[in-house]
Amino acid sequence: MNLLAQILGVLAIITWVISIQQREKKNVLLCQAIANSIYGIQYFLLGAMSASFMNFISFFRSWVFYDDEKKKRNTTGSSFLFFSFIIVVFGILTYRDIFGLIPVFITLAYSYSVWQKNLTITRWIFIIAAFVWIYYNMKVGAYVTVVGNILEIISGIIALIRYKKR
């Protein structure tokens, strides 16, 4: 199962890195929904339940926010608060130790980043979160995903440069 988890990590990485390079928020959200579902399975196979649940919640959050973007609706603050509440509840339910809170805090940050409209802020949060994920992924054995986190940081920096407002 560990080999399958690493292979899924590669697929998730590719999808996530593609998401960062998207110009439109709806495309970012669609790619992330796909990546989150793959990451959720990967972490489940590795026994990292907190990260697994956070990624499955992120899949649903990304899908709801994507649907809002596609229909040109503003995602409401109540949607953001609903998903934040769900993240905290599942964080409590999957709590084993302080280490397991890392995915919870990262998922809250991601939720804020995709709820607000500024993709520059979104990309900065992705970059910062990727540094924290490196530590977490090393601890849970998601070694291929560590490489992905490094690629995510590089991709985020490239996207910030590409889409810099002049």
- Per-residue model confidence (pLDDT) at position 166: 53
* Cβ atoms < 10 Å from Cβ of 139: 11
Short-list 37, 34, 31, CA closest to 19: 31
pLDDT cut 70: percent of the chain above it: 98
- Per-residue model confidence (pLDDT) at position 80: 95
Q: SS3 of 137, please?
A: helix
Q: Could you tell me the pLDDT band of residue 129, with boundaries at 50, 70 and 90? A: very high
Q: What is the total count of domains within the chain?
A: 1
The Cα-based distances of 23 to 19, 28, 29, 74, 83 in angstroms read 9, 8, 11, 18, 24
Q: The pTM is what? A: 0.88
Average pLDDT, the chain: 92
Short-list 51, 50, 28, 27, CA closest to 38: 51
Q: Could you tell me the pLDDT band of residue 141, with boundaries at 50, 70 and 90? A: confident
Mean pLDDT to the nearest integer, 47-54: 93
pLDDT of 41 over the 60 cut: yes
Short-list 76, 63, 75, 52, CA closest to 29: 63
Short-list 67, 59, 14, 13, CA closest to 36: 59
Return d(Cα 51, Cα 42) in angstroms, integer: 9
Q: Tokens standing for 87?
A: 């993240």
pLDDT cut 90: percent of the chain above it: 79
Task: Quote the domain boundaries for residue 57.
Answer: 2-162
Mean pLDDT to the nearest integer, 18-38: 93
Q: Could you tell me the pLDDT band of residue 1, with boundaries at 50, 70 and 90? A: low
- Per-residue model confidence (pLDDT) at position 75: 86
Report the phi/psi class of residue 47: left, alpha or beta, with left for phi > 0 and alpha for psi in -120 to 50.
Answer: left
Q: Tokens standing for 96?
A: 């084993």
